């Protein structure tokens, strides 16, 4: 199943991927990093799915209801036409976010008397064993889980085994983890639909968007919001595990966790959008993580409840996405040392201290945390680590990691000037020292640009962030040289690769979507707006009918690969769109 044939639904508690033929092929319950209830994405034969589609098995056409995360799949057949509306309820109730662990599916005839098939076959997580089932008066109860999984419907239960039947009226299905539906089903589903549509459309209205690329930014914003696990404030990297970066690569990773680095970039995108509650929620997550590590020996990633028990294992019984293996659960990168994370956490917290709108959150506890993070970053500058790309080869001092350490010292000096003046000189001097170290040890000989690691000559795409963070002024020739070197060495048919060195799994063969958006942002920062807009126009037409982006793209085929949807890619698009677009005052 191509990734472009999948639509995402969710409510910041759970999510699901719906294939164009009407099958839910991926859903983990009760939260993003739980074992799958439906896993046909990774094993089409035995992984489990919840299918509602035409009797002939044909595929439909998908779209989102405007400015929402409610997915419509429309089917046409000789007998008639119908649509399936898929969503997870989300709206405000009693001034609180209502996000039950439920998936709602509404099937509506449009023309004629179409014949449809319905089947629901959940599995017991990674064991892949089918759940037991018990039939009630208007529901199927699935057993074998820690709690009840119940499908409640007003469709005939006799037809829920895939037997074709005529769709003569609107039918409703609610799959509930835990508390089942105990009230009249049809009015409940209609109210859930109405309130969920209203919630998302209101949320979009409160987003800032640029004059250009509006549809792409809105869809990216809605998708990014679904990566937020509201209960703890964690933001996950992606909704899936083990979608390979490229065919036959063996690069299959579990991304259903919170990378602190990814969360920082996501918060930056939410800031562009004018949405700030995600930063407040992530602050609580970060305080929880920090309290469990008195020395601030932060791991690069955590479970969405803040735990770090992420031992990596493979599930050999699963065939894998399109037969690609291994299927991995957990992620060994949690054991890596990635020095940039301290800088990114300081950057994530900086707006709290420099933006008067957040002054009530500037508590002694948070000020102490950001100060300790900044000192940790200063001490890590120039030290070997696995870096942003999580190399599984010998570690070296990574330039990007030290750039982030510089950014931590630089921003902390500004914070200290306002909130802790006695520390300002310490961090100002540290920022100068780290920048001088970078310019003496990380400039590639003969190229006058930053290199990927100290003493090296190769570049990687993460160096573009030195431009966006303003390590040097936009007019400095070394910043322009860095952008030009990255583009010359890593461009692949209009898109960028991460790097061109062997990372322990060979040399990457596909483009990493985020990197191209980084390039657009860097070009905009340097004032090269014509180049930024030309590149944005080229890459915005990627084959993604619903606007959902994966991690990687093979530019030779136009096929997306990697975990899906990828928060990084949508974050990058938002940053790039704001960088390449004119201001509203110059446009309207």
Residue 205 has pLDDT above 70, yes or no: yes
Handedness of CA 548, 550, 551, 552 (dihedral sign): negative
Mean per-residue pLDDT, 357-375: 91
Residue 39 has pLDDT above 70, yes or no: yes
pLDDT of residue 508: 83
| pLDDT, tens only, 523-557 | 999 999 999 999 999 898 898 999 999 999 999 99
Distance CA 33, CA 51 (A): 23
As beta bridge partners, residue 95 has: none
Q: What is the mean pLDDT of the chain?
A: 94
The β-bridge relationship of strands 71-77 and 301-302 is unpaired
Q: Which has more confidence, 294 or 102?
A: 102
Mean per-residue pLDDT, 102-131: 97
Mean per-residue pLDDT, 380-394: 83
Residues with Cβ within 8 Å of residue 249, at least 6 apart in sequence: 505, 506, 509
pLDDT of residue 544: 94
Distance CA 2, CA 13 (A): 26
Reported confidence tier of residue 393, pLDDT bands at 50, 70, 90: low
6 close to 18: Cβ distance less than 8 angstroms: yes
Distance CA 447, CA 484 (A): 10
Residue 179 has pLDDT above 90, yes or no: no
pLDDT of residue 287: 86
Q: Is the pTM of this model over 0.75?
A: yes
Reported confidence tier of residue 321, pLDDT bands at 50, 70, 90: very high
| pLDDT, tens only, 117-164 | 999 999 999 999 999 999 998 999 999 999 999 999 999 999 999 999
Reported confidence tier of residue 360, pLDDT bands at 50, 70, 90: confident
232 close to 306: Cβ distance less than 8 angstroms: yes
pLDDT of residue 94: 84
Distance CA 206, CA 219 (A): 14
pLDDT of residue 588: 63
Instruction: Please report, for residues 15, 38, 68, 120, 518, the alpha-carbon distance to residue 150 in angstroms, rounded to integers and kept in the order given.
Output: 17, 14, 26, 11, 44
């Amino acid at each position: 199943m191509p990734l472009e044939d999948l639509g995402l639904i969710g409510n910041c508690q759970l999510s699901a991927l719906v294939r164009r033929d009407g099958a839910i092929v991926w859903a983990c319950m009760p939260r993003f990093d739980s074992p799958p209830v439906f896993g046909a994405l990774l094993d089409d034969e035995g992984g489990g799915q919840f299918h509602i589609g035409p009797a002939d098995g044909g595929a439909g056409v998908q779209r989102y209801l405007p400015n929402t995360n409610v997915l419509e799949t429309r089917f046409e057949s000789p007998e008639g036409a119908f649509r399936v509306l898929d969503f997870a309820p989300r709206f405000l109730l009693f001034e609180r976010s209502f996000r039950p662990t439920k998936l709602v599916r509404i099937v509506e005839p449009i023309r004629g008397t179409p014949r449809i098939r319905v089947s629901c076959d959940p599995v017991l997580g990674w064991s892949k064993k089918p759940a037991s089932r018990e039939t009630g008066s208007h529901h199927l109860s699935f057993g074998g889980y820690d709690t009840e999984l119940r499908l409640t419907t007003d469709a005939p239960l006799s037809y829920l085994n895939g037997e074709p039947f005529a769709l003569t009226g609107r039918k409703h299905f609610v799959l509930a983890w835990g508390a089942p539906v105990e009230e009249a089903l049809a009015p409940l589903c209609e109210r859930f639909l109405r309130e969920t549509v209203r919630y998302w459309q209101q949320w979009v209205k409160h987003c800032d968007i640029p004059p250009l690329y509006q549809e792409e930014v809105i869809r990216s914003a809605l998708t990014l919001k679904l990566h937020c696990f509201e209960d703890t404030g964690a933001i996950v990297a992606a909704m899936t595990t083990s979608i390979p970066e490229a065919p036959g690569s063996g690069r299959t990773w579990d991304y259903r966790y919170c990378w602190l680095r990814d969360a920082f970039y996501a918060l930056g995108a939410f800031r562009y959008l004018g949405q700030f509650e995600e930063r407040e929620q992530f602050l609580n997550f970060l305080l929880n993580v920090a309290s469990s590590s008195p020395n601030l020996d932060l791991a690069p990633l955590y479970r969405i409840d803040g735990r770090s028990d992420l031992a990596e294992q493979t599930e050999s019984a699963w065939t894998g996405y399109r037969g690609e293996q291994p299927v991995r659960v957990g992620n060994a990168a949690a054991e890596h040392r990635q020095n940039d994370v301290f800088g990114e956490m300081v950057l994530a917290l900086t707006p709290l201290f420099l933006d008067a709108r957040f002054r009530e959150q500037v508590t002694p506890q948070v000020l102490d945390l950001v100060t300790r993070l900044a000192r940790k970053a200063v001490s890590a500058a120039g030290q070997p680590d696995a870096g942003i790309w999580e190399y599984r080869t010998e570690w070296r001092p990574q330039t990007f990691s030290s750039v982030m350490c510089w950014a931590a010292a630089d921003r902390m000096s500004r914070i200290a000037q306002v909130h802790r003046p006695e520390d300002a000189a310490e961090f100002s001097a540290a920022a100068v020292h780290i920048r001088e170290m970078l310019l003496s040890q990380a400039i590639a000989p003969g190229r006058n640009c930053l290199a990927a690691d100290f003493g090296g000559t190769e570049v990687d795409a993460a160096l573009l962030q030195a431009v966006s963070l303003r390590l040097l002024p936009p007019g400095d020739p070394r910043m322009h040289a860095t952008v030009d070197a990255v583009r010359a060495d890593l461009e692949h048919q209009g898109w960028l690769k991460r790097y061109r060195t062997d990372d322990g799994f060979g040399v990457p063969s596909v483009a990493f979507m985020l990197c191209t958006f980084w390039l657009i942002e860097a070009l905009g920062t340097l004032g090269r707006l014509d180049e930024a807009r030309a590149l944005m126009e080229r890459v915005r037409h990627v084959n993604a009918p619903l606007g959902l982006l994966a991690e990687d793209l093979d530019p030779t085929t136009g096929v997306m690969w990697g975990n899906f949807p990828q928060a990084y890619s949508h974050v990058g698009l938002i940053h790039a769109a704001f960088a390449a677009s004119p201001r509203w005052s110059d446009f309207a």
